[in-house]
Structure formats: structure tokens, C-alpha cells
Amino acid sequence: MNINERRDGGSEAVLVIIPTYNEADNIAAIVSRVRASVPAAHVLVADDNSPDGTGKIADELADSDDHVHVLHRAGKEGLGAAYLAGFAWGIERGYDVLVEMDADGSHQPEELPRLLAALDGADLVLGSRWAPGGSVVNWPKSREFLSRGGSLYSRTLLGVPIKDVTGGYRAFRRQTLEGLGMDQVASQGYCFQVDLAWRTVKAGFKVVEVPITFVERERGDSKMSRAIVVEALWRVTAWGVGHRLGRLRPRR
């Protein structure tokens, strides 16, 4: 299918990238909701060889819908690697907008039209839990504290004017991703999201936050782990220290 056919009448071609690992209970429902919310959009399921059969379910969805595609990856390599592979897949095929979305329903597809509309005046749109009007549902206070604290720490240390810098519901223009030096990104999890947001700001692109309601998953297991949090902490600290030292060095 060529790019003009994908545009469905001339609008920008949108690719929603959904990384999966053991999301057999969720993938069909989330793809169906994306297709209903933005019928012109295409969906790419980037599956890390899930042992629960998620990839097979995704293949069946793709067989019955030419707007659904599957990227089978060799094994579990982390969220950042899955998104980078998805971005490369979409850019190679000429999509104009590339969206990050979780498979578990925490990022509500019904809110995607608002994110896409906000791209009219932005290079990156973030679905924000902590911007005015944003919220979370069914989160313990400890999880909210961790997320708010992570965003505040990253924002303060890196000088990034984003309230929800760790959030993972995002819509990028293709040109934005092409200008970020994606071949140098090696971070994962929370840290991957901070990394891309910081790169976007440093490159001079315009970032807009749109408030969303984040809903905790009802089925399957969260991929959040202590290792992901620790990686984010030390990487952001290292970046922040380097950033501040660089600003203190005398210019010649």
C-alpha cells in the first residue's frame, strides 16, 4: 500500500506504535479502540517475541485489517528499543506522525484525537498526567509520588519545561524524530521518555502538553521494575550534572 492510499483522502499519515510483551489479554481490545477512535490511523504492534502468544494475536488482527501491522522482534529488549524499531519502521514507510501508546489501556485511545489536533501548533505533543486537567485513576499514592517526583527531578535537573516529562503517550512529527539523533539513544523505560523529551527541547522543537486521564491497567502485569527506576535516576543525574557543568564552563 503506498503512502497516498494510507493518507485516506489527503490527511497526514499517522502510525500508532504499540510495544508488547505478554499482552495477549489486552492487544485486541486496544487495537480495536485505536481503530475506532482514529479510523484513518495505522497501528504497528512491535512484539518482543511474547511467550503468551501476543504476536500471533497481532498477526491475526493484521490479517483481517490492512491498517494493522506487526513488527516481530527477536526477544525482550526493552521499551526504548521497541519504540526505536517502530520509529524506524514508520519513517522508512513515509508516515507523517508517529505515536507512542501503551498496550494495556492506560493510554486511552479515545483521547488520541486531541493529541493529534494539538500537533497543528507543535512538533511533539505529550499526553500529560500532571498538566492542569490531567489525572490518574486507580494509582496508589506511592506510584503517584514516584511519577510526580521523577518528572520534577528530571525537569529541575535538565531544565526541561515539561510537567510530565516521564509520560509515554506521545505524538511526534516525523521531522522531529529525524532531528533528534535517534542512533545515539540507548536508554529504556522512564529514562527513554525523559531522553527523547530533553532531546526535543534541546533541538529547539516546540513541545505541547495535552491533559489526559491515565488509567491503571486491569489485566496483565506491569513492566515497571526497580531496575528501570534506578536506570532513570542515574542517567538523569549524569545528564543533569553534565548539562549544568557545560553551562558553567567559560566560553572562548
> Whole-model pTM?
0.86
Number of neighbours of residue 127 by Cβ within 10 angstroms: 28
Asked if residue 188 lies in contact with residue 80, where contact means CB atoms within 8 angstroms, the answer is: yes
Task: Give me the domains of the chain, ranges plus CATH numbers.
Answer: 3-243 (3.90.550.10)
Per-residue pLDDT for the chain (252 aa), expressed as one digit of tens each? Answer: 444 444 443 489 999 999 999 999 999 999 999 999 999 999 999 999 999 999 999 999 999 999 999 999 998 888 899 999 999 999 999 999 999 999 999 999 999 999 999 999 999 999 999 999 999 998 888 888 888 888 888 888 888 999 999 999 999 999 999 999 888 887 776 688 989 999 999 999 999 999 999 998 766 565 555 666 666 666 667 667 766 666 545 544
- 10 Å CB burial of residue 52 (0-12, 13-18, 19+) is middle
Cell 524524530 belongs to residue = 177
Residue with cell string 529514562: 191
Q: Going by DSSP bridges, is the β-strand pair 170-173/124-128 parallel, antiparallel, or unpaired?
A: antiparallel
Distance of CA 235 to the CA centre of its chain: 19
Q: Where are the alpha helices (DSSP H) in 119-202?
A: 141-158, 174-178, 189-202
